[in-house]
Structure formats: structure tokens, C-alpha cells
Amino acid sequence: MLRCQYNYLLAQRFDWHGQNRFPLDRCPLICQLPELKEQPNYYSQKASLTQLKLDRPWYKEIHSQVLQEVPKKVQITFERWLKGDSNGNKSGRPRFKGVGQYKTFTYPQFKRHHFANNKITLSKIGNVKVIVHRPIPVGFDIKTVSVTKKADGYNVTLSLDDKTVPTIKPDFNSDNIVGIDVGLIDFYVASDGSRINAPKHLRKAERKLKSAQRRVSRRKKGSNRRNKAIKKLAVQHKKVADTRKYFHFKTARTLLDKYDVIAVEKLNIKGLVKTQLAKSINDAGWGQFIIILSNKAENAGLKVITVNPKGTSQECSNCGHKVKKWLSQRMHNCPVCHTSLCRDLNAAINIKARGTHALKAQLMSS
């Protein structure tokens, strides 16, 4: 029902956009202006939900606040297409949701006592047993609850809020900084010389994925056997994604236990995945790792500094001389100061130096 409502509200937006836009940027001095229709927005579409429940009484089975989240999703999706996000990056044209593609609904308000004894009370649904992965810390308030359908079942995501979480750790040491250079051979190389090999979760699971994909392609479209095969394939993909995410959390924890400040490159991952290395880059999941690292650092009162990645591999970390080299050249050999070391380690040292400079500028400005 939420999927149908999403498609209906999105169609309203497309109708308005198609009837009221004009392809030219100029017109004659004397011309007839068409009568413009009122543009649908979040508030007008939200107000229409009252009439919706009268026309379609079965929509009363959905909690009102859950239903009100649908116009908000449409608003965000449509504005990202026309105006872009806060950074000005625009998304593609929004798509209508097919059967099984609308997978998440959200309760924007939730009371703590509705989640107790491994049971959660969802309005208009009832009490649902849940497997609690970890207890909610003392002092945290539950702000929102999202229910997501995944390949292996339903997941409940709780967003928590605690006013006592420090913005900066009391014993924060700005000198305890490290720079890391992410890569495909080594997942990262740190400026202190430590490194972790790239786990290559997708590459290791390719045989099982290939077998599951072949099973799907051999089934008749629309049959129950094909649907079962698709579900098994989705479970295999989810297993790879979960394993990768666990590795990212584990790696972030290792770094944050050791350092107070971590400097990373601000990579254009969308541009990198358009190259021949797209499969390996997606397998590494640099973007997800940096997001996890930043969130965990903020919760712990630590810092993650992003620096400009331009020239970190080419500049000599000892004298600053630019030494051009191909991607296949894995060693950095400076002809000026005769420094010879791994190119990734050289880049990590440069990232640390840039991070130190950026951190000092932040501390001075604050």
C-alpha cells in the first residue's frame, strides 16, 4: 500500500512538471501564457492523505505517521533530481517502485517502553519478536524506528540520541594522528607502516554467486522456482555485503583504538567506478568504510580529517619533489633525496602531513 501511494504521489509531481515546464528560454513580447497549476509539495500531498483514507478505507490499517513519511520521501527524491543535494550533486530521474521494491517504512516517533523483553510494539501491527544484536546503552532515547525487508528476513533499525555523548574526547591528543591510503592490493597502508590486506569478499564468493545466477537464468520467468532461485541469489549477495560491512566495522575499531585523529583522502569514488577497476573498487567498499569510520570517530569523541588526494602518490614524502609514475610502479624512488619506499606508504605519509596541517587550521579557527 505504501508503494502504491509513493507511485501515485510521484506521478502527481511528474504531471505537474510535464504540464508547466517550457523548453525555451525566450518567447515573443506578445504571447498567451498558459494557466499554471499549483505545484504539489510536501504539505499539500500530506494534506491529501485525509481524503485518501475516506476514498480507500483500507489505508486506515497504516499508522498515520508512517503514511506521512511517504510524501517526505517523494519530496526528497524529486528535489534531488531537480535541484540536487546540499553539495549541488543531482540524482537521476526518480523511478516508480515495482512490486517488492519499496522495502522500508519508518515510525518517526517511538516510545522507549514499546521495546522491551526482546519484543517491539509497532502501531497497527502489534507485538513482534526480535533478535536483539546488542542492548541499548543507558541514557539513550529511541528517536525513530525503521523496518526493512531484506533477503533473509526483516530488520528493525533504531536511531538513538544521547545528549551526553562528547563532541571531543576529554583526553583528546591532536598529536596522535595517522594517515591511511586505501588501495586494492592492501585495503589500507598507514603512515606508521602497518597495513591490512584487501579481503576481496566478492572475488572469493564469485563461484557461489555464479552458480546461483545460472540457476536463476535457467528457470522460467514468473514461476515459483525462479522466485525461489532469486531469493537464494539475494541471500548470497547479502552474505557478501554483511561480511564486508563487518570487516569495515572491525577495521575502523582497530584504528580508533590506536589513534585519536585519522587522515583519509577525499576520493571521488563515483568517478573511479567508471574505470576498468570498478569491480575491485566496489568490492573494497571504500565509501562505506569512510562513512563508518567517520561515524564511529564522532561517537567516540575523535576526529577523521579528509584531505585533497591530488598528488599524494607522486610527491616525495621526504623532500616534496614530484616523481611521476604509472599505477603499475609500486615503489617510490626519488632522484633528488634518494628516498626509496612503497608508493602506498609514501602516499600515507603525505596524507598524514596534510591532515596535520588541516587539523591545526581547524583548532586555530575554533
Span 88-98, pLDDT tens digits: 778 889 999 99
Task: Provide the pLDDT for residue 24.
Answer: 60
* Residue 205 · residue 236 · CB < 8 Å: yes
- For residue 70, give every residue at least 6 positions away whose Cβ sits within 8 Å of its Cβ, in sequence order, or none: 2, 5, 6, 9
- For residue 127, give every residue at least 6 positions away whose Cβ sits within 8 Å of its Cβ, in sequence order, or none: 119, 120, 121
* Residue 304 · residue 262 · CB < 8 Å: yes
As a residue count, the chain comes to: 366
Ramachandran quadrant class, 211 (left: phi over 0; alpha: psi -120 to 50; beta: rest): alpha
Task: Provide the pLDDT for residue 299.
Answer: 85
Residue % of the chain over a pLDDT of 70: 95
Task: Provide the pLDDT for residue 84.
Answer: 82
Task: Provide the pLDDT for residue 170.
Answer: 80
Mean pLDDT of 110-117: 87
Give the whole-angstrom CA distance, residue 348 versus residue 23: 50
pLDDT class for 207, splitting at 50, 70, 90?
very high
Domain at 177-365: CATH code = 3.30.420
Task: Provide the pLDDT for residue 92.
Answer: 87
First-to-last C-alpha distance (Å) of the chain: 49
Task: Provide the pLDDT for residue 171.
Answer: 82
Residue 300: half-sphere exposure toward Cβ, Cα within 13 Å: 21
pLDDT at 86 over 90: no
* Residue 219 · residue 226 · CB < 8 Å: yes
pLDDT at 36 over 70: no
Mean pLDDT of 39-61: 91
pLDDT class for 307, splitting at 50, 70, 90?
very high
Task: Provide the pLDDT for residue 25.
Answer: 61
Domain range list for the chain: 1-18+37-100, 104-161, 177-365
Give the whole-angstrom CA distance, residue 118 versus residue 128: 9
Average of per-residue pLDDT values in the chain: 90
Q: How far is CA 350 from the centre of its chain?
A: 27
- For residue 239, give every residue at least 6 positions away whose Cβ sits within 8 Å of its Cβ, in sequence order, or none: 205
- What HEC string does the chain produce? CHHHHHHHHHHHHHHHHHHHCCCCCCCCCCCCCCCCCCCCCHHHHHHCHHHHHHHCHHHHHCCHHHHHHHHHHHHHHHHHHHCCCCCCCCCCCCCCCCCCCCCEEEECCCCHHHEECCEEEECCCEEEECCCCCCCCCCCEEEEEEEEEECCEEEEEEEEECCCCCCCCCCCCCCCEEEEEECCCEEEEECCCCEEECCCHHHHCHHHHHHHHHHHHCCCCCCHHHHHHHHHHHHHHHHHHHHHHHHHHHHHHHHHHHCCEEEEECCCHHHHCCCCCHHHHHHHCHHHHHHHHHHHHHHCCCEEEEECCCCCCCECCCCCCECCCCCCCCEEECCCCCCEEEHHHHHHHHHHHHHHHHHHHHHHHC
